[in-house]
Amino acid sequence: MKFKDKIILGGCLVILSPLVCADISYVDRATTLNELNKRIKQQYVEVNKLDEISNALANLKSSLAFTDSQSQEQFASLLTTELQKFDKHFSVQWRNPNEKHTHSAVRESWFAKLSRKNSGFNRVEILDGNVGYVDFWGFDALSKDSKKIVAGVMGFVSSADALILDLRKNGGGSAEMVQLISSYFLKPNTHLNSMYWRTTDSTREFYTFNNIAGPINLTTPIYILTSSDTFSAAEEFAYNLKHLNRATLVGETTKGGANPWQFYEIGHGFRAGIPIAKSINPITKTNWEAVGVKPHIEASSDNAFDVAYQSALKKIKNAASNEHQIKEINDKLTELSLD
């Protein structure tokens, strides 16, 4: 996957499982490992980690796990596990050169799945007390269709008195979609994030858009639900709004992947996903790589919704004047406290 026109911050990196995994010789494993190390030294954005990674790969080469990795699939999994100790966006895959002649299933890409499944939006509703709730599992690529879906979602919850955005199962995706959704809650031309590219020694800045299809709501309280599975572009979205003081994060510390990646061939049917750029937040001057995004209010993934919902209801109640809405809120708070 090349990063020419779009920035990909997430999506599921999976090890492809061919129908038949032949044995891979020690020599092929060694040459593949050497090429992997070479590619990482040439391309990996976190240059301060290069020596540590190189030492880890050298140690891996002399390990029993390396010797025992007889199949391509096992070897790819071993390399991925080792590299992800340093960066969650690393991956190694093996592709069967004969796969096109077999009937093995081709895995659907992250963005193809998002496009097919409503740009990742699972649930959009107005809860008791006039709290908006949006659950989505990915940040789709920007297109005419995805913009239309986002406009519909944001329009549906635009009159809510508080908003819960559920990113607990969100695996990331497009940085441009982060821009678009953020533009519904922040002033135009707000600096969200910057991306530094090692190969060109250049930085691209990301701002909210000047024009969106719908109103911009600058005051509605926003709660973002997070879990240890929240990843990449979803982490960026949460991190940006947290440090712009625009949202309250509720849940668990996120997975910790801040560096966009690109695939490189490393021989013998293997390819490596290597992070080639890194996010730099304009406020913190750093990012969430390896440490994750820490919530304001810690709660288990299972309890995060109830915690955020109760907090939203109490905030709305403090500002409400409609007696019917206040009763509805009190009834819901009583119900939640009894659960």
2 located within any domain: no
Q: Is the pLDDT of residue 115 over 80?
A: yes
Which residues on neighbouring strands pair with residue 196, listed in sequence order? 203, 278
Quick one: average pLDDT of 93-110? 71
Q: What's the CA gap between 283 and 86, in Å, rounded? A: 24
Residues 242 and 293 sit within 8 Å (Cβ to Cβ): yes
Q: Is the pLDDT of residue 59 over 50?
A: yes
Q: pLDDT digit string (tens) for 243-286?
A: 999 999 999 999 999 999 999 999 999 999 999 999 999 999 99
Q: pLDDT digit string (tens) for 18-50?
A: 444 468 999 999 999 999 999 999 999 999 999
The tally of CA atoms less than 13 A away on the side-chain side of residue 126 is 10
99 located within any domain: no
11 located within any domain: no
Which residues on neighbouring strands pair with residue 226, listed in sequence order? 251
Question: Among residues 57, 89, 121, which one ends one of the domains?
Answer: 89
104 located within any domain: no
3 state SS of 299? coil
195 shares its domain with 327: yes
6 located within any domain: no
216 shares its domain with 285: yes
Question: Among residues 40, 59, 89, which one ends one of the domains?
Answer: 89
Domain that holds residue 32: 26-89
Q: What's the CA gap between 258 and 236, in Å, rounded? A: 7
157 located within any domain: yes
Would you state the pLDDT for residue 19?
40
148 shares its domain with 180: yes
76 shares its domain with 218: no
204 shares its domain with 77: no
Q: pLDDT digit string (tens) for 178-204?
A: 999 999 999 999 999 999 999 999 999
198 located within any domain: yes
The closest of 166, 127, 185, 136 to 310, measured between CA atoms, is 127
Which residues on neighbouring strands pair with residue 222, listed in sequence order? 163
Q: pLDDT digit string (tens) for 121-169?
A: 999 999 999 999 999 999 999 999 999 999 999 999 999 999 999 999 9
Q: pLDDT digit string (tens) for 279-331?
A: 999 999 999 999 999 999 999 999 999 999 999 999 999 999 999 999 999 99
Identity of residue 36? L
239 located within any domain: yes
Would you state the pLDDT for residue 26?
92
> What's the CATH code of the domain at 166?
3.90.226.10
128 shares its domain with 67: no
42 shares its domain with 157: no
204 shares its domain with 306: yes
253 shares its domain with 214: yes
293 shares its domain with 216: yes
Rounded to the nearest integer, the mean pLDDT of the chain is 92
320 shares its domain with 204: yes
Domain count, the chain: 2
Q: What's the CA gap between 83 and 92, in Å, rounded? A: 9
pTM score, whole prediction? 0.86
Q: What's the CA gap between 173 and 186, in Å, rounded? A: 20
* First-residue to last-residue Cα distance in the chain: 47
Q: Is the pLDDT of residue 1 over 80?
A: no
Phi, psi of 202 (to 5 degrees): -130, 160
3 state SS of 72? helix
DSSP letter assigned to residue 47: G
Would you state the pLDDT for residue 185?
98
252 shares its domain with 213: yes
Burial class (CB in 10 A: 0-12, 13-18, 19+), 318: exposed
User: Which pLDDT band holds residue 13 (cuts at 50, 70, 90)?
Assistant: very low
